[in-house]
Amino acid sequence: MTETEEKTGPPVTLIDPIDMTKLDANFRRDISSMPNGEELSACFACSTCTAACPIANQWNYKPHQLIRMILLGMRDEVLSSKEIWECLTCFQCQERCPQNVRVTDIFFDCKNLAAEEGYVPENIIALAKSLVEKGQLYEIINDWEREDLGLEPEVPGLSIEGIQSILKGTRTHKLVEGDE
């Protein structure tokens, strides 16, 4: 098998059988009833969203497949998928959809539902924890890099208390506290 053939094998979702007993008819309705879901049913599976997506070739579930899975009621598979969290929110799919399906925004809705139903990946929780506890998503650990650039060792003006005050009561805070 050539390297190209290895990388372009058939998508998992096209070869795995769908367990009809696990389909949830309410999932489609839940997403459709959200502000971004109005045009969901207009999707005619043209795959333009997938063609436009810069990261789809890394995903088992491509954007058009995720939309189809929502329409079919594959609630668990969509909400537990890593793809909805890895979306770059570049809006390329949404901009190009000929049916005005709000693909990117629907993935936001999926993330919100996933959070409500306890499907948030560990790495996302770790990022939220860092934001709530340290006021930033990524710690600057190599002071010498700042020094090389002629910057102060610490990030100036960062108020952890201020950020914590803003985040208090948000769903991000609840997620870290384990209430979400």
Name the residue nearer to ligand SF4 (CB basis): 55 or 127.
55
Neighbours of 64 (CB within 10 A): 23
Least spacing, CB of residue 33 vs ligand SF4, in Å: 18
Name the residue nearer to ligand SF4 (CB basis): 68 or 134.
68
Least spacing, CB of residue 84 vs ligand SF4, in Å: 9
In angstroms, the Cα distances linking 112 to 44, 46, 64, 79, 109 are 25, 26, 20, 9, 5
Name the residue nearer to ligand SF4 (CB basis): 85 or 134.
85
Which residues contact residue 7 at a Cβ distance below 8 angstroms, ignoring those fewer than 6 apart? 57
Binding site for ligand SF4 (CB under 6 A): 43-49, 52-53, 55-56, 63-64, 67, 87-93, 97-99, 101, 103-104
Least spacing, CB of residue 51 vs ligand SF4, in Å: 8
Own/partner contacts of 169-174, CB < 8 Å, gap of 24 or more, are 171/115, 172/128, 172/131, 172/132, 173/132
Name the residue nearer to ligand SF4 (CB basis): 32 or 164.
32
